[in-house]
Amino acid sequence: MVMPRFVRPKEGDSESSPDLYVANCGPAVGLQFDTIASAFSSFGEVKGVYAADESGARVIVSFLEPASAHSAFIALNDRPCPHLGGRSLHIRHSILQPPSSRGMASVPVSLNASDLNIPGLYLFHDFISAVEEEQLLQAVDTGSWISLSKRRVQHYGYKFCYDTRNVDTKQHLGALPSFVSFILERISLSPDIPEKLDLDQLTVNEYPPGVGLSPHIDTHSAFEGLIFSLSLAGPCIMEFRRYTAGSWAPKTASISDTEVENPNSCSEVSRKAIYLPPRSMLLLSGEARCAWHHYIPHHKIYRQNFERLVV
């Protein structure tokens, strides 16, 4: 996914930019976009607040008028903001750099699944508490890891075979571990879950800093109709892509995961993105599960600690 790229304006042009790059500000530090917009609106009309990167702690505040941005910069840069809990903000003037002709245009990042209008996509914020998150991280650390090329995994219930991209239903590994019992109970009791389930498969993925996911649709026969994904230890931005028939070619025609050979070369594609905060539960079902590729970009410089529990 190509994020919006904001750069410093040329010397002397700062006051001509309506956009501000604001650090120490965003969902990762407890400040939602609407709260940020409200705080900055005292300086003039705010067109929008956008994620500056995948950290969740840096945003772009875009004003209608450059003078409003400059007033906010003078008043708030390196100073406590009383409307944001006294948090000190680190601000610089920025301008939007047009995307490279070799890449794809950026997409807005939503905070709620309903904003994406993808049938079958749900995001439950704060599905577990911070204490529960720490307990889960400690529990999985004692598990048996399998090392892959860019990450390591644990399998419970049924083992996913990466060579065939499927599971052997004749090789049952046993019941799911006790450390996820409260998660399974919470799922079963949730009035927002579309159907009652008998969950019998769990994969723990540990993604090192900078490692993401290639655009893909998980094998239908291996994971069936619903996938739950619990984010631990850090935030990320996930992009969803739906390709028009004929605009891309899968690597194989088998039952394996459908991946795109060169996703950035596909012109006929719908793209949407969502911010996944720590402790949130993502549910892929229906159209979101079967028709949309999901994707987390790999980064060489962004330090990301993200684990995904799939049940």
Average pLDDT across the chain, whole number: 77
CA–CA separation, 226 and 92 (whole Å) = 43
CA–CA separation, 158 and 13 (whole Å) = 59
What is the CATH topology of the domain spanning 6-96?
A: Alpha-Beta Plaits (3.30.70)
| Stretch among 44-48, 162-166, 304-308 having the lowest mean pLDDT | 304-308
pLDDT of residue 104: 45
Find the angle CA(190)-CA(225)-CA(216) to the nearest 5 degrees. Answer: 115
The region that residue 292 occupies, defined by phi over 0 for left and psi between -120 and 50 for alpha, beta otherwise, is beta
Domain map (residue ranges) of the chain: 6-96, 109-186+199-245+267-310
The runs of H, that is alpha helices, within 128-285 are 130-141, 181-189, 220-223
Q: Is pLDDT at 231 greater than 60 in this prediction?
A: yes
pLDDT of residue 251: 41
Is residue 95 within 8 Å of 6, Cβ to Cβ?
A: yes
pLDDT of residue 183: 93
Provide φ and ψ at 269, rounded to 5°. -150, 135
Percent of the chain with pLDDT over 90: 23
For range 149-162, the mean pLDDT:
83
Q: Which two tokens stand for residue 126?
A: 């704060």
CA–CA separation, 237 and 244 (whole Å) = 23
CA–CA separation, 279 and 308 (whole Å) = 10
What is the CATH topology of the domain spanning 109-186+199-245+267-310?
A: Jelly Rolls (2.60.120)
For range 209-224, the mean pLDDT:
74
pLDDT per residue as tens digits for the range 110-134:
888 988 999 999 999 889 988 999 9
pLDDT of residue 221: 63
Percent of the chain with pLDDT over 70: 77
pTM over 0.75: no
pLDDT of residue 101: 36
Q: Is pLDDT at 202 greater than 50 in this prediction?
A: yes
